Amino acid sequence: MIRLKWSNNSMMLLSVLLAILLWVYVNNVQNPVKEQEFRVTVETRGELSQGLTLSGLPKSVAVRVQGKNAQLSGIRPADFQAVVDLTNITEGETTRPVQVTAPSGLQVVQVNPTRVTLTVERVIQKQLPLAVVVKGEPLSGHTALEPVVQPTAVLVRGPARVLKDLRSVELTVDITGTNQNVEQQLMIPLPPGVTSSPDRVKVLVPVTRALPSRSLPVVPRYTGSPADTYQVLRVIPQPATVQVYAPVEVLNNLESISTETIRIDGISDNVLKEARLLLPQGVVDIVPGKVELAVQVKPKQQPVPQEPPETPRENAGSPDQNKQP
C-alpha cells in the first residue's frame, strides 16, 4: 500500500517536472527573449520663458529594449515616450536626462543618448539688408545691370548668438547664357533657428543690349480723390529712381520717367499700388519696368468753429445817475 502511494507521488513529481520543462521550452525556444532597437521621437515637458529659444535638443533617441518575441511583435516607435523636462530651465547651457517609458512587459536596456546638452539663449530681431550675388555671364553682346530686389531688407528673428555677427543676407542668381531679364522669387537663406519676415523676395537681374544708360527719377501719376474726410499727403515711388537705356541723344533730353496713371478713388488708408513705367520714344529699356506707389493719406483738418461776437452791454450809468430826485 505504501509502495503504491510512493509510485503515485513519483508519477506526480515526474508530471510536474515535465510540465516545467515544457514551459521552459515553449518560452525559450518558441517565444525566446530578444532585444530590439527603436528610434523614438523626443518630446519636451514644461515651457521656456518668453523671449528665450532652445537649441541642442535631438529630434529622436535610440531606445533598445528586451522582451519576449510575442511581446515585441507589433510594437512601434509611437508606443514609446522619450521626454526631456524643461521645467525651471534658464538662459545658458544645461544638461538634462532623457526619460523613456516603454510598453508594459518590455525592459529598457539602453538609451542613446541618455542625457542631452541644451543651450538656452535670448531671442532678438534685427533688420538685415539683402545683397544679390550674380553668377555667370549673359549671352555675348548683352550685359547684366545692377540687380533689383524687393523688398531691400528683411526682419530676422533668432538666437542672439547667431544674429549678433550677421550683417546682411546674400541671394544668388544665375544668369549664365541668358539674353533677357532674369526675374525670380527666392527663399531667404538663413541659419538654423532663424526666421525672417518676409520669408521670400523678388529679385530682378536686368539683362540688356550694350547701350548707354542714365538714372532718372520716377514721377508718379494718379487720378481720383480719397474719401470725403481724407486728403492725399504724398505719393512715393518705390524705387524712387530707375535706370534708362537709350541712345545718348535720347538720354540727354530726358529729365524723368512717368508712371501710368493709377486711380485712388475713395481710399481712406495708406495703400500700395503697382504701376508700369511709360516708355518715352527712343528709349530701349527701363529697369525695373514697373514700380510700387505708396499712396499716403491723412484726415482733413476740420475748420475751427468761430464764436459769435459778444453783444455789447447797455450803459447802466453811474450810481449817482440812477438815484431818483
- In the chain, what are the domains? 27-113 (2.170.120.30), 122-207 (2.170.120.40), 213-299 (2.170.120.40)
Q: Is the pLDDT of residue 149 over 80?
A: yes
pLDDT value, residue 305: 65
Partners of residue 121 on adjacent β-strands: 53
Nearest to 250 by CA among 199, 212, 298, 198: 212
pLDDT value, residue 90: 87
Confidence band for 91, pLDDT divided at 50, 70 and 90 = confident
Q: Is the pLDDT of residue 145 over 80?
A: yes
pLDDT value, residue 209: 75
Burial of 36 (0-12, 13-18, 19+ CB in 10 A): middle
At residue 12, φ and ψ (nearest 5 deg) are -65, -40
Can you list the alpha helix ranges (DSSP code H) found in 151-237? Answer: 160-163
pLDDT value, residue 25: 60
Provide the 8-state DSSP code for 77: G
Q: Is the pLDDT of residue 318 over 80?
A: no
Residue 7 three-state SS: helix
Summarize pLDDT for 14-42 with one digit per residue, the tens.
677 777 766 666 555 555 778 899 999 99
Residue 2 three-state SS: helix
More confident residue, 4 or 194: 194
Residue 71 three-state SS: helix
Distances (CA, A) of 139 to 43, 149, 178, 203, 207: 54, 22, 5, 20, 9
d(CA 212, CA 248): 7
Q: Torsion angle, CA of 265/267/272/274, rounded to 10 degrees?
A: -20
pLDDT value, residue 247: 87
Nearest to 273 by CA among 281, 262, 259, 258: 262
Q: What is the mean pLDDT of the chain?
A: 86
Confidence band for 324, pLDDT divided at 50, 70 and 90 = very low
Confidence band for 316, pLDDT divided at 50, 70 and 90 = very low
pLDDT value, residue 31: 56
Summarize pLDDT for 38-88 with one digit per residue, the tens.
999 999 999 888 888 888 899 999 999 998 888 888 899 999 999 999 998
pLDDT value, residue 287: 86
d(CA 180, CA 184): 13
